[in-house]
């Protein structure tokens, strides 16, 4: 447990970076900016999100939490999968700007839900 706080802070920092960078790329998409195709916009999310996932797995292992014994962890994982799907629709797979915009809003709301679950440790954070 000696590394818990360092890894926890790394996880929080990477989560904030991931969300901020997703929002930034969403704004680029809305503006139909060519910057969205820039190498940094294609590579950085994978680096950030890989570190975020690694830190999350490490934290789950050292604290003995799993989706089976921690409902809030299960909620975060389910919401993360939804966030990924919505994010890919928003940034590349949506056929129209209206679909991409709606997916962006839904992805950001899902990100907010994930953060709220993490803070409250409750799958229904609005009841906490």
Q: Is the predicted pLDDT of residue 128 greater than 80, yes or no? A: no
Domain that holds residue 82: 4-127
Q: Which residue has the tokens 């409250």?
A: 120
Name the pTM for this structure. Answer: 0.93
C-alpha separations of 76 from 30, 41, 73, 121 in Å: 27, 25, 5, 10
Distance CA(62)–CA(123), nearest Å, equals 21
Domain count, the chain: 1
Q: Map residue 121 onto helix, strand or coil.
A: coil
Q: What is the pLDDT of residue 1?
A: 67
For 117-126, the pLDDT digits (tens) are 999 999 999 9
Q: What is the pLDDT of residue 92?
A: 94
Distance CA(3)–CA(125), nearest Å, equals 27
Contact 11, 59 (CB under 8 A): yes
For 18-61, the pLDDT digits (tens) are 999 999 999 999 999 999 999 999 999 999 999 999 999 999 99
Distance CA(126)–CA(79), nearest Å, equals 15
Distance CA(110)–CA(86), nearest Å, equals 9
For 74-116, the pLDDT digits (tens) are 999 999 999 999 999 999 999 999 999 999 999 999 999 999 9
């Amino acid at each position: 447990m000696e590394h818990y706080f360092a890894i926890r802070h790394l996880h929080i920092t990477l989560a904030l970076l991931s969300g901020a960078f997703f929002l930034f790329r969403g704004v680029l998409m809305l503006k139909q900016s060519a910057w969205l195709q820039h190498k940094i916009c294609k590579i950085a999310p994978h680096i950030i999100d890989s570190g975020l996932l690694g830190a999350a797995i490490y934290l789950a292992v050292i604290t003995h939490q799993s989706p089976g014994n921690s409902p809030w962890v299960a909620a975060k994982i389910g919401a993360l999968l939804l966030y990924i799907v919505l994010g890919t629709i928003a940034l590349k797979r949506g056929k129209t700007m209206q679909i991409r915009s709606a997916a962006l809003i839904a992805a950001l709301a899902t990100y907010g839900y994930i953060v709220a679950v993490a803070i409250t440790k409750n799958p229904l954070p609005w009841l906490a």
